[in-house]
Amino acid sequence: MQSFKEKILKEGKNLGGGILKVDSLINHQVDPILMDECGAEFARRFANVGATRILTAEISGIAPALMTARHMNLPVVYARKTRPVTMPDTVYLTVAPSHTKGHMVELIVSPEYLKPGERVLIIDDFLATGATILGLVQLTKAAGATLCGVGALIEKTFEGGREALQSYNVPIEALVKISSLDGNQIVFED
């Protein structure tokens, strides 16, 4: 998506250490027009996977997942990082490392909203090492649901996440692929 690449170049910042700051677009401040375009593109790319539910991680995955769900007419479930008192005692829970937080985070989903037999499309902000998405896959499997696809706004191809997910034999789509964040540059893969 050329418009997304242009926004990343204009507003994104390479902070070094493989960290790309795009919080003015997708999580601290959200560009709703861009997210709507991204949601429409994901809906087009995943139109034939038979998804019945979209799963994402709190907080950065919510905007792209919600807009994708709008275009696919599906509900969105997001894995919480803390268990609220309103959630039942028995939950699906896994842990995953957070690249930007620098520590492990919990991913928690209530069995009320992720059930056996669901066909789950995972939509998230980044595909880097694949650790967060693999955590979401674990939650999907724990629920007895079936993974039917993975979408990421941005893939950092140099971190190996796609390879970590390929054994699931589902479509993996990234709207923008970045091949390098060396120095102060942001290098896109064509």
Residue 164 domain-assigned?
no
Q: Which residues of 89-127 are buried (b: 16+ CB within 10 A; e: fewer)?
A: eebbbbebeebeeeeebebbbbeebbeeebbbbbbbbbb
Taking the complete model, does pTM exceed 0.85, yes or no?
Answer: yes
Classify residue 163: in a domain, yes or no.
no
Residue 189 belongs to a domain: no
Cα(18)–Cα(168) distance, rounded to whole angstroms?
26
Q: How far is CA 72 from the centre of its chain?
A: 16
Distances (CA, A) of 88 to 68, 83, 91, 118, 168: 28, 9, 7, 20, 30
Q: Which residues pair with residue 166 across a beta bridge? A: none
pLDDT in tens, 12-57: 999 998 899 999 999 899 999 999 999 999 999 999 999 999 999 9
For 137-186, the pLDDT digits (tens) are 999 999 999 999 999 999 999 999 999 999 999 999 999 999 999 988 99
Which amino acid type is present at position 80?
R
Distance CA 12, CA 10 (A): 6
Q: Which residues contact 115 (CB under 8 A, 6 or more apart)?
A: 143, 144, 145
Within a domain: residue 83?
yes
Q: What's the domain count of the chain?
A: 1
Dist. CA 14–CA 32, nearest whole Å: 23
- What gap in Å lies between CA 57 and CA 133, rounded to an integer? 8
How many other CB atoms are there within 10 angstroms of residue 190's CB atom? 4
Task: Note whether residue 38 is domain-resident.
Answer: yes
Is 33 domain-assigned? yes
Query: Whole-angstrom Cα distance, residue 158 to residue 63?
Result: 25
- Here the CATH number for the domain that contains residue 150 is 3.40.50.2020
Specify if 144 maps to a domain.
yes
63 band by pLDDT with thresholds 50, 70 and 90: very high
Q: Residue 116 domain-assigned? A: yes
Q: 140 is in which domain, residue-wise?
A: 2-158
Helix, coil or strand: residue 126: strand
